[in-house]
Amino acid sequence: FGLADDTTFENITFETAGGSFLLVAQHHAVTVGKGVEMRNFDGSTLGKAFWVVGGFQWNFGGCAGPKYMSTSKATNVTVLSGNDMIVVGGARDFSTVNGVKSSNACTYGDVNVHIGGTAQVSTLYAGAYAAAYTTVGNVNAEIFGNATVGNIYGAYVHNTTASNVTLLWIGGEVGAFSMAQTNGVGLKTASGGTVALEATEDVQATANYEAVAAKFKTTSTHTHSHDNVVVTREATCIEDGEMTYFCTGCSDSFTEPIPATGEHTYKSEVTKEATCVEAGEMTYTCTGCGDSYTEAIPATGEHTYTSEVTKEATCVEAGEMTHTCSVCGDSYTEPTPATGEHTYTSEVTKDATCGKVGVKTYTCTVCGATKTEDIPFEYPYHQWLPTDTGYSCAVCNTTADTLSAPTAMRVESVTVENGTATVVLSLESSAPFSALRFKLHVPEGFTYASHVTTLGDVTEDVDPSTLTDLAFAYGTDAMAVVYIKGQDLASMPKTNFVTLTYTVADTFTAETATVALEMVEAINIDLDVLDVDGVGYVWSAPAHTHEYTSEVTKEATCGEDGVRTYTCTCGDSYTEAIPATGEHTFGEWVETTPAQPGVAGEETRTCTVCGATETRATDPLPEVPETYVAYEADVVETVTPKTTVYLAGDYSGITISGEYTLDVTGRYANREGAIVTDPIVAYTPVDGVKAIVRPTATTVVGSTKISASNSLEVQSSILLKFMVS
C-alpha cells in the first residue's frame, strides 16, 4: 500500500496469510517505530518479507507517468523495530519510462535511511532496487542501537547512480556490504563521488568490521559529540526529571536525571462559589504530587436578584415588579408605570349600508374608555330588487315601500330560452344629469354576447365626435350612459335604452335567479353626486309542459309482463306494463321414454323462456320376430346361413361360419335397460379373412371398410366376430 503523507507506525502487528507486505512511502517520511511486529495469522514466524520502500514503486506512479519524472525531494526511512524486513532507500522496480528504456530516466533527491532499535533487517538496498538508470543525490545510511542488518547493497540488478554513498555505523550488527548484489551491476557514484564508512571505536572492535570496511573507498572513526541537550521529562516536587544528550553527528544519545525540585507547583480551582452571604472555597493542588490546601473566598455581599412582575400595569394603574435574591431570598419591589395604552374590544354598533357609513365602537376592558371609527360603505347606492310589498336591497337588506330618487334605471325584463338570455334596461329622469356609470350582475353561467341600444353606441369603430346626443358605452367591468353635448340632460322620459344578449351554459339549471343593478356613479356637468335608484330583476323559469317519448325497456315474454318507459326532455319519466304474450317458444322434441315392441314411447319439448313443457306419444316398435337367434356371452357357435340374424341379450361375442352373405342387425340390442333400434350393417365374407366389428370403430377387412357411422351401436361389452370356415 502507498502513503499519501508522512506516516509513523508504532505498537502495531501486521498479519498475513503467508504473503509479503509492501509499504511504499512515495517520498513521504516513513517511520516504523517501536512495537511493530510481522507474523502470520496463526502466530508463526512471517516467513516472507516486509518491504519498506522510501521512493516510488512501479504502478504506484513514479516513472509510470510524467508527474514524477524528476524531483529533488528526498526519501527518509526510519526502522526501529520489526522482523523479516527488507528496506529500499529509493525507488523499486523501474525498468522503463512509458515503455522505453533510457539512461538517467528518473532523477531524485537524497536517500536517507536510519535502522536502529531492535529492527531485524535481512537486506538493505540503500540506493534502489531494480530501478534502471535512476539517479539520486547522496545516499546516507545509519545503523545504530541493537539493530541487525544481514546485507547492505547499494542497489539491485540495474545501474543506479548516486553523488556520494555514506554508511554511519554506530551500533548493531552488519553482515556484509556491497555496492552491487549481482554481476557487479548496482549502485555507482558520479565522477568524484565517494563511498565512505564512518564507525565508532566500539564498532571497529567487532569481528565483522574489517570485512565490511574493505568494501569502502574511505573509512573514518566517528566520535560522538553530545552537544544537543533536551529536557525530555520535567522534574517535579517529588520525582526526578530527565535530560537527554543527543549526538549532533548520529542518532546516539544518553540521559541524565534531573533531581526533584522539592517545590510544589500548585494549580488553583474554585471548589465552592462564594455567595452574597456565604464564603466560598479555593483549592490549590500540586500538579506533581497531588498535595493540596484550601483558602476561603469571602462572601460577595452582592445579591443575585431575579425579577418577576407581581402586578401587571394597566392603562390607568401602576404595576409592581418584585426582585428576589436566588441565594438568600432577600427581596424588594418597585412600581412599574401605568402603560397609558388601553386594551380595546370592538363591536359594530351601526352597520354600514349602501351609501351610508357604519360605526365601530372600541371599549377598554380595563377602564371602560371608548372610541369610535367609521365603517366605510362598499356601495354608494342600494341595489334594489322588487318584492311583493315594495323593494329590498340585495346588499344591505334595507327595505322601502316606494322609491323616490329623481333618476331611476331598471331591469325591465329577463328571458332565458334555448341557451340564450336577453336583458332589457330602461332609464328615466326628472332631474338634470350628465353621466351614469353602472354594473349589471348576471347569474353564473351567463356570458356576454352582444347588445343593441337605442342611444348612440360607443364602440371601437365609432368616432365619439359623431355622437351628438345621449350615448351608451359597454365595458367588461362597467357600463355607462353619457350626455355627449357637454352639458346636463334636463330630463328623460322612461325609455328602454339597451337590450343585452348572453349565452347560457348547460350548467345553468336554476328555476329562479337574480339580475342585480349596481349604480356606481351618477353626476351632473359640475361633478355633483346625484341621487339615483337602480332596480334589478328576479327571474323565474316559465311553467314546464312535459313532452314524453316512449321506449320498450323490457320485452314481454310468454309468462312475464314487459315495461314501456316514457321520458320527458326535462328528465321526468314514468313506466307502464306490457302484458305477457302467452305464446311459448319451444325447443326441439326430445325422446324421454323410448318405445318398446308393442309399447308407445314419449317425447317432450321445453319453452326456452319460461321452462313450460309439453309431451306427445311416439309409435311403438314392431313385435320381435319369432325367428331370431340370441347368443349368450362368450359362446362360439356355427349357425346355418340365414337371410337375417337378430341379436338380443347381453353378450361379449359370437363366431359365425359359412360362406354366405350375412346381414347383421342390432335391432334388439339392450342398452341401459332400453330396447334401441340400430341400422343394418351388411357384411360379405372374404375367403381366409376374419373380421371383427367393434362399436363406434372403423374395421378394415382386406379392401372392405365398415365405417364408424355404420358400426353396430351396441353395448361396449358386445364383441361380434365373423370367421370364414
Whether residue 573 contacts residue 550, with contact meaning beta carbons closer than 8 Å, is answered with: no
Q: Dig out the grid coordinates for 74 from the structure.
A: 528526498
pLDDT at 616 over 60: yes
Whether residue 103 contacts residue 118, with contact meaning beta carbons closer than 8 Å, is answered with: no
Q: Is 276 helix (H, G, I), strand (E, B) or coil?
A: coil
Mean pLDDT of the 608-618 span: 89
Closest CA to 695 of 679, 676, 708: 708
Percentage with pLDDT > 90 across the chain: 53
pLDDT at 669 over 70: no
Mean pLDDT of the 663-691 span: 38
| Stronger pLDDT, 57 or 348, i.e. the higher one | 348
Indicate the pairing of strand 704-706 with strand 699-701: antiparallel
Please name the amino acid found at residue 526.
D
Residue written as cell 432577600?
A: 330
Tell me how crowded residue 57 is: count the other CB atoms within 10 A of its CB: 23
| Stronger pLDDT, 183 or 255, i.e. the higher one | 255
Dihedral sign from CA coordinates of 485, 491, 492, 498 = positive
Write down the pTM of the prediction.
0.43
The per-residue pLDDT for range 279-291, each reduced to its tens digit, is: 999 999 998 888 9
Closest CA to 156 of 133, 125, 177, 190: 125
Mean pLDDT of the 543-563 span: 89
Please name the amino acid found at residue 664.
V
Whether residue 163 contacts residue 187, with contact meaning beta carbons closer than 8 Å, is answered with: no
| Stronger pLDDT, 458 or 651, i.e. the higher one | 458
Find the range with the poorest average confidence among 101-110, 269-278, 366-375, 579-588.
101-110
* Per-residue pLDDT at 683: 41
Instruction: List b or e across 567-597, with b for residues whose CB sees 16 or more CB atoms inside 10 angstroms.
Output: beeeeeeeeeebeebeebeeeeeeeeebbee
Q: Residue 76: which H helix or E strand, with range? A: strand 75-79
DSSP state letters, 345-386: EEEEEE--BTTB-EEEEEEETTT--EEEEEE--S-SS-EEEE
pLDDT at 435 over 90: yes
The per-residue pLDDT for range 303-325, each reduced to its tens digit, is: 999 999 999 999 989 999 999 99
The per-residue pLDDT for range 451-480, each reduced to its tens digit, is: 999 999 988 888 777 777 899 999 988 999
Closest CA to 534 of 387, 388, 394: 394
Mean pLDDT of the 633-649 span: 36
pLDDT at 635 over 70: no
* Per-residue pLDDT at 45: 65
Cα Rg for the chain, rounded, in angstroms?
A: 64
Distance CA 87, CA 223 (A): 27
Q: Dig out the grid coordinates for 95 from the structure.
A: 525498468
Task: Report the Cα–Cα distance between both ends of the chain, in Å, rounded.
Answer: 105
Closest CA to 234 of 221, 247, 243: 243
The per-residue pLDDT for range 47-97, each reduced to its tens digit, is: 678 899 998 887 654 444 443 456 789 999 999 999 889 999 998 876 544
* Per-residue pLDDT at 370: 92
Q: Residue count of the chain, please give it.
A: 725
Distance CA 296, CA 77 (A): 58
* Per-residue pLDDT at 87: 96
pLDDT at 386 over 90: yes
Percentage with pLDDT > 70 across the chain: 80
Distance CA 419, CA 432 (A): 39
* Per-residue pLDDT at 353: 80
Residue written as cell 392603562?
A: 315
Q: Is 708 helix (H, G, I), strand (E, B) or coil?
A: helix
Whether residue 195 contacts residue 217, with contact meaning beta carbons closer than 8 Å, is answered with: yes
Please give the DSSP secondary-structure letter assigned to residue 529: B
Distance CA 502, CA 212 (A): 120
User: In the chain, count of helices (H) and strands (E)?
Assistant: 2, 61
Indicate the pairing of strand 562-568 with strand 548-554: antiparallel
Mean pLDDT of the 553-564 span: 90
pLDDT at 173 over 50: yes
| Stronger pLDDT, 580 or 16, i.e. the higher one | 580
| Stronger pLDDT, 576 or 186, i.e. the higher one | 576
Whether residue 163 contacts residue 190, with contact meaning beta carbons closer than 8 Å, is answered with: yes
* Per-residue pLDDT at 158: 72
Dihedral sign from CA coordinates of 425, 428, 431, 432 = positive
* Per-residue pLDDT at 668: 33
- Please, how many CA atoms are within 13 Å of residue 135, restricted to the half-sphere of its CB? 13
| Stronger pLDDT, 186 or 646, i.e. the higher one | 186
DSSP state letters, 201-266: HHHHTSTTHHHHHTTSSEEEE------EEEEEE---SSS-EEEEEE-SSSS-EEEEEE-------E
Instruction: List b or e across 425-436, with b for residues whose CB sees 16 or more CB atoms inside 10 angstroms.
Output: bbbebebbbbbb
How far from 389 is each of 139, 392, 402, 412, CA to CA, in Å?
Answer: 123, 9, 9, 18
The per-residue pLDDT for range 250-303, each reduced to its tens digit, is: 988 899 999 999 899 899 999 999 999 999 999 999 988 889 999 999 999 899
Closest CA to 383 of 362, 403, 366: 403
- State the chain's mean pLDDT as an integer: 81
Dihedral sign from CA coordinates of 472, 473, 474, 480 = negative
Exposed, middle or buried, 524 (CB in 10 Å: 0-12/13-18/19+)?
middle
Closest CA to 381 of 475, 480, 521: 521
Distance CA 496, CA 516 (A): 17
Exposed, middle or buried, 459 (CB in 10 Å: 0-12/13-18/19+)?
exposed
The per-residue pLDDT for range 679-720, each reduced to its tens digit, is: 333 444 444 333 333 333 322 222 233 233 333 333 222 333
The per-residue pLDDT for range 486-541, each reduced to its tens digit, is: 888 999 999 999 999 999 999 998 989 999 999 999 999 999 999 999 999 999 98
Whether residue 29 contacts residue 6, with contact meaning beta carbons closer than 8 Å, is answered with: yes
Distance CA 35, CA 1 (A): 20
Whether residue 425 contacts residue 452, with contact meaning beta carbons closer than 8 Å, is answered with: no
The per-residue pLDDT for range 129-158, each reduced to its tens digit, is: 887 778 899 999 999 999 999 999 998 877
